[in-house]
């Protein structure tokens, strides 16, 4: 297995082709490294600029002095081989080739890329790319890439064969307050292949979930083995681009002969314990769920809802995805009977019939999650229900009936109550080692998807946007949990 630790944890970074030409790669990368909180040394290298963003630029790699742990190349393809020879000469071992103009650009590029591959292998260089948008380690503040995102630290590491897809996933993670650990765009994979990154993330202590966007796998067997090794310890979530003949053609990384192989690929991946997803947004939410919640140990689901229609939609989704909704055991029914109005549903889903009482929410959730009859609980419409109440107060205020409390204070109080409730969910997940899936009544546009309790807990609460999203995550987490058990591992 290749040692990629200095690639992701470099003490120093050099950027060749560094410039201040804002929209060019040579500026985008170095401004991101300098602005992103990286604590190590940063060396701009440029033949044409004396200084770059206030740093003196070296004329060449030799000028830097001690060899940089990581070198990022942004100069044209034709310069790359010469630079790699300088790396060997100066002792640089980890290189990210951002430059394009290789196998994606015709016959000469392909020949050029073979040269890079052979040189890297012969000289033991770790080469990322070419034609990649870069690399990042959010814990280290290392942003050696195109995307100027600033993410919270978390356990999710991403490998993407497309820079665009990687870019979008990271922007979404930022928007939703989903923490990440590392990113690498593998580009054309001249030397380091997707299975190398998978193996590395497998062994990386800062990574708890691995997500991958793949268009093509050159060495299926070797990738499959890496996947099987990894999923015994960490969940792997995979989105495959180029699933169809047309998609494959668009990927341009394969011939038409590969059409139809996606079914075989997906089946092999599922066999290896990999969670396959259909979209980027599903990939991210599932990864956050893996990173934040305990796994369900079985498929018996309890549903608690603030109103009827949602329970129906959720019951449908569960049934369609192989989850069951067992009836309420007598003891749970009795416990809920003491809390709820006489006309409550008396079945699973448990309908709180519109009673907007935070204590009731907490106690009914605990009544369900503590029962041996259920492996997980889905919670519908309670989160953000107070926003609805605020609308009522605002309307009556405008109608000339002042509320006892200042509306801003009231909103803050209700918001605090909700945060306590979400903290409670994290507590209950830890207490019973079972997952709870709260679905917002209406997701607020500016609301983080991941709720981290004020004092850090073993688990975080995830706020799901739709019942479909919650059930889909739950079903895939259950599938992975079952896989682990079959492998003799404890979920």
Residues 123-152 that bind a second copy (CB under 8 A): 147-149
| Nearest residue (CB) to a second copy, 163 versus 294 | 163
All residues at 6 or more sequence positions from 449 whose CB lies less than 8 Å from its CB, including other chains = 176, 177, 178, 285, 288, 462, 463, 465
Closest distance to a second copy from the beta carbon of 298 (Å): 16
Interstrand relation of 180-185 and 236-240 (parallel, antiparallel or unpaired): unpaired
Cα–Cα distance for residue pair 173/228, rounded to 1 Å = 27
Cα–Cα distance for residue pair 487/269, rounded to 1 Å = 15
Instruction: Write phi, then psi, for 133 (nearest 5 degrees).
Output: -95, 0
Closest distance to a second copy from the beta carbon of 244 (Å): 4
Burial of 73 (0-12, 13-18, 19+ CB in 10 A): buried
Exactly one of 79, 281, 370, 419 binds a second copy (CB under 8 A); which one?
A: 281
Closest distance to a second copy from the beta carbon of 122 (Å): 29
Binding-site string for a second copy from residue 362 to residue 381, where x marks contact by CB under 8 A and - marks none:
-------------------x
Closest distance to a second copy from the beta carbon of 465 (Å): 8
Closest distance to a second copy from the beta carbon of 401 (Å): 6
Residue 267 as a binder of a second copy (CB under 8 A): the answer is: no
Cα–Cα distance for residue pair 279/322, rounded to 1 Å = 20
Which of 169, 118, 416, 450 shows the shortest CA–CA distance to 289?
Answer: 450
Cα–Cα distance for residue pair 223/306, rounded to 1 Å = 46
Cα–Cα distance for residue pair 85/88, rounded to 1 Å = 5
Closest distance to a second copy from the beta carbon of 376 (Å): 15
Exactly one of 48, 60, 175, 413 binds a second copy (CB under 8 A); which one?
A: 175
Binding-site string for a second copy from residue 9 to residue 38, where x marks contact by CB under 8 A and - marks none:
-----------x-xx---xx--xx-xx---
- Which value, to the nearest 10 degrees, does the dihedral of the CA atoms of residues 60, 64, 70, 76 take? -10
| Nearest residue (CB) to a second copy, 111 versus 245 | 245
| Nearest residue (CB) to a second copy, 288 versus 428 | 288
Residues 35-74 within binding reach of a second copy (CB under 8 A): 35, 53-54
Binding-site string for a second copy from residue 460 to residue 489, where x marks contact by CB under 8 A and - marks none:
-----xx-x---------------------
Q: Where are the alpha helices (DSSP H) in 91-162?
A: 107-123
**DSSP-based three-state secondary structure for 41:** strand
Residues 197-256 within binding reach of a second copy (CB under 8 A): 213, 215, 241-247, 249-252
**DSSP-based three-state secondary structure for 46:** coil
Cα–Cα distance for residue pair 33/18, rounded to 1 Å = 11
Residues 67-106 within binding reach of a second copy (CB under 8 A): 101, 105
Residues 406-435 within binding reach of a second copy (CB under 8 A): none
Exactly one of 73, 306, 376, 452 binds a second copy (CB under 8 A); which one?
A: 306
Binding-site string for a second copy from residue 344 to residue 363, where x marks contact by CB under 8 A and - marks none:
-x-x-x------x-------
Residues 310-349 within binding reach of a second copy (CB under 8 A): 310-316, 318-320, 324-325, 343, 345, 347, 349
**DSSP-based three-state secondary structure for 38:** coil
Cα–Cα distance for residue pair 189/44, rounded to 1 Å = 25
| Nearest residue (CB) to a second copy, 22 versus 122 | 22
Burial of 477 (0-12, 13-18, 19+ CB in 10 A): buried
| Nearest residue (CB) to a second copy, 97 versus 306 | 306
Q: With CB under 8 A as the contact rule, which of the stretches 67-75, 160-168, 451-459, 473-481 interacts with a second copy? A: 160-168
Residues 432-461 within binding reach of a second copy (CB under 8 A): 441-442, 445-446
Closest distance to a second copy from the beta carbon of 229 (Å): 26
| Nearest residue (CB) to a second copy, 255 versus 279 | 279
Closest distance to a second copy from the beta carbon of 225 (Å): 25
| Nearest residue (CB) to a second copy, 68 versus 149 | 149
The CA-CA-CA angle for residues 371, 372, 377, to 5°, reads: 60
Cα–Cα distance for residue pair 290/285, rounded to 1 Å = 9
């Amino acid at each position: 297995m290749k040692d990629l630790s200095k690639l992701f944890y470099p003490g120093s970074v050099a950027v060749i082709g560094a410039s201040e030409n804002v929209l060019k790669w040579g500026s985008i990368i170095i401004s991101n490294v300098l602005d992103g909180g990286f604590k190590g040394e940063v060396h701009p290298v440029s033949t044409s600029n004396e200084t770059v963003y206030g740093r003196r630029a070296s004329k060449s790699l030799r000028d830097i002095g001690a060899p940089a742990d990581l070198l990022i190349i942004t100069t044209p393809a034709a310069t790359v081989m010469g630079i790699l020879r300088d790396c060997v000469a100066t002792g640089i071992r980890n290189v990210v080739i951002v430059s394009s103009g290789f196998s994606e650009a015709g016959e000469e590029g392909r020949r050029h890329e073979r040269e890079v591959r052979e040189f890297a292998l012969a000289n033991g260089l770790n080469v990322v790319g070419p034609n990649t948008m870069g690399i990042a380690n959010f814990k280290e503040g290392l942003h050696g890439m195109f995307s100027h995102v600033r993410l919270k630290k978390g356990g999710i590491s991403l490998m993407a064969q497309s820079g665009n897809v990687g870019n979008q996933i990271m922007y979404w993670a930022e928007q939703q307050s989903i923490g990440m650990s590392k990113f690498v765009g593998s580009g054309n994979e001249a030397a380091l292949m997707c299975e190398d990154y998978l193996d590395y993330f497998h062994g990386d202590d800062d990574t708890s979930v691995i997500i991958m966007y793949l268009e093509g796998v050159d060495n299926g067997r070797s990738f499959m083995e890496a996947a099987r090794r990894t999923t015994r310890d960490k969940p792997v979530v995979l989105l495959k681009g180029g699933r169809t003949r047309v998609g494959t053609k668009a990927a341009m990384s394969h011939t038409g002969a590969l059409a139809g192989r996606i079914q075989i690929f997906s089946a092999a991946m599922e066999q290896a314990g990999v969670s396959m997803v259909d979209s980027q947004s599903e990939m991210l939410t599932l990864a956050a769920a893996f990173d934040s919640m305990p796994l369900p140990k079985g498929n018996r689901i309890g549903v608690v809802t603030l109103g009827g229609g949602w329970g129906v939609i959720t019951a449908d989704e569960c049934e369609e995805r192989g989850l069951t909704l067992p009836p309420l055991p007598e003891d749970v029914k009795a416990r809920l009977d003491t809390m709820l109005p006489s006309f409550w549903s008396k079945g699973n889903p448990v309908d709180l019939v519109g009673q907007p009482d935070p204590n009731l929410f907490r106690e009914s959730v605990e009544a369900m999650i503590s029962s041996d009859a259920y492996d997980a609980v889905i919670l519908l419409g309670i989160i953000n229900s107070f926003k609805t109440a605020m609308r009522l107060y605002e309307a009556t205020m405008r109608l000339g009936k002042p509320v006892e409390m200042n509306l801003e204070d009231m909103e803050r109080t209700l918001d605090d109550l909700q945060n306590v409730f979400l903290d409670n969910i994290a507590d209950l997940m830890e207490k019973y080692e079972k997952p709870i899936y709260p679905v917002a009544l209406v997701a607020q546009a500016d609301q983080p998807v991941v709720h981290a309790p004020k004092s850090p807990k073993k688990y975080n609460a995830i706020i799901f946007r739709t019942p479909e999203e919650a059930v889909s995550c739950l079903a895939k987490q259950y599938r992975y949990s079952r896989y682990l058990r079959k492998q003799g591992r404890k979920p």
